[in-house]
Structure 1
């Protein structure tokens, strides 16, 4: 989550000439720092430069060491007087853990300058990967449909390469899709289970280069789907002599329909409803 670092009203010439800058407090590799600049009621144009820097030691050209600031990313934008704008600073993907500073320089059209520097907190994780399947449990011989995608910390889609692997419960790798990608950022794949697979928890692994690895489990089991579903419409209050409605929905393609009589008993003290399903006939209908 982005946090606000700089929230200040800075005077340029007088009390009527002010601007406001909002900046993030954190930094991660391959992300974009967005600085919001609002010149408020300032009549002068503003040239805003943002730099991501670290402090390092250097002994050139002298024989003694001195501290210098090294740029890792920077960008400049001009904001018209009385207008608002954004300064985007793209950080490199190979950004390592260090003590980073955000240096903001503002220059007005009349030549006045303002500079301020702030600490940035480094986070190595810049991508969040997600794996989805169409079901949680699969039967032998069925097809596992997979969808994988990743987003940056600013919720923009990742459209680069990723590797998708599938492992059985014995950790045998049964599928490998390397360097797959999609222009939309959402990669879809499918995997056909054999007629006699190893039952248990299988694993999907998605790996993004120079980033992270995400895993998701799904179960392979010999299970039977429910043949029908029963729902009961219950009023907000009821008497012992009342009768309610029971609906049965067949979930599989079977040519069978039956009529049922519902005998019910209400225990209002505990708000308990007991339903007994009694078939009236075994008559078949198509």
Structure 2
């Protein structure tokens, strides 16, 4: 029952959830230039297996990012795919995760491209304030392209 609540939580907050048989893979459904796409996975296996994860773009035959990892037996792990700064909104992006050797599966999901619009940095004079204290700080907004 706990798995169902976790699944609902991740789906509500814009995550892709893949669960078939003996594995669960959770990933954001968006990519942003220069930021990593982090996959969380829980795979039950009695033998060794290989996971291949890649981000593909329909406008290019070359993978945007990819990684291959080998595992021995059941595992709970995270995989980080670094999205290059050069990624643009051209084409349709997909995340492909393959289980090879001992655990075999193929999952492919469409990813939304979100360009980085702006960043806000806020600095305060204290890390923790008590109720009633006046906060002093400064902020900077960086607008990208």
Question: Could you tell me the TM-score, scaled by structure 1's length?
Answer: 0.38
Aligned counterpart, 2:77: 85
Q: 1:54: how far off? A: 0.9
Q: Let me know the Cα RMSD of the aligned residues.
A: 2.8
Which aligned pairs between 1:25-174 and structure 2 lie closer than 5 A?
25-40=29-44, 42-56=45-59, 69-98=61-90, 99-109=92-102, 113-125=104-116, 128-132=119-123, 147-148=138-139
Contact 1:76 1:87 in 2 (8 A): no
Higher alpha-carbon Rg: 1
Task: Name the CA shift for 1:133/1:33 in 2 (closer, same or farther; >3 Å).
Answer: closer
**Between structures 1 and 2, the one with greater helix share:** 2
**What is the CA–CA distance in structure 1 between the aligned matches of 2:124 and 2:78, rounded to whole Å?**
39
The alpha-carbon distance between structure 1 residues 52 and 127, as it changes in their structure 2 partners (threshold 3 A), is farther
Rate the CA distance shift 1:7–1:127 in 2: closer, same or farther, 3 A: farther
Q: Distance in 2 between matches of 1:126 and 1:85?
A: 31
Q: Which consecutive unaligned segments of at least 5 residues does structure 1 have?
A: 11-17, 57-67, 135-144, 149-204, 213-286
**Contact 2:50-2:99 within 8 A present in 1 as well:** yes
| Distance change (3 Å), C-alpha of 1:45 and 1:4 | farther
Partner SS for 2:17: coil
Query: Deviation of residue 147 (structure 1)?
Result: 4.4
User: Structure 2 length normalisation: TM-score?
Assistant: 0.69
Structure 2 gap segments, 5+ residues each: 1-9, 126-135
Cα distance in 1 for residues equivalent to 2:38 and 2:124: 34
- Per the alignment, residue 6 of structure 2 pairs with none
Judged with a 3 Å threshold, the aligned counterparts in structure 2 of structure 1 residues 147 and 75 are, in CA distance, closer, same or farther, namely farther
**Counterpart Cα distance in 2 of 1:118 and 1:107:** 18
User: Residues 95, 45 of structure 1: CA spacing in aligned structure 2 closer, same or farther, 3 A cutoff?
Assistant: same
Identify the structure with the greater strand proportion. 2
Task: Return the alpha-carbon distance in structure 2 between the equivalents of residues 85 and 133 of structure 1.
Answer: 35
Q: Distance in 1 between matches of 2:16 and 2:141?
A: 34
**Matched length:** 123
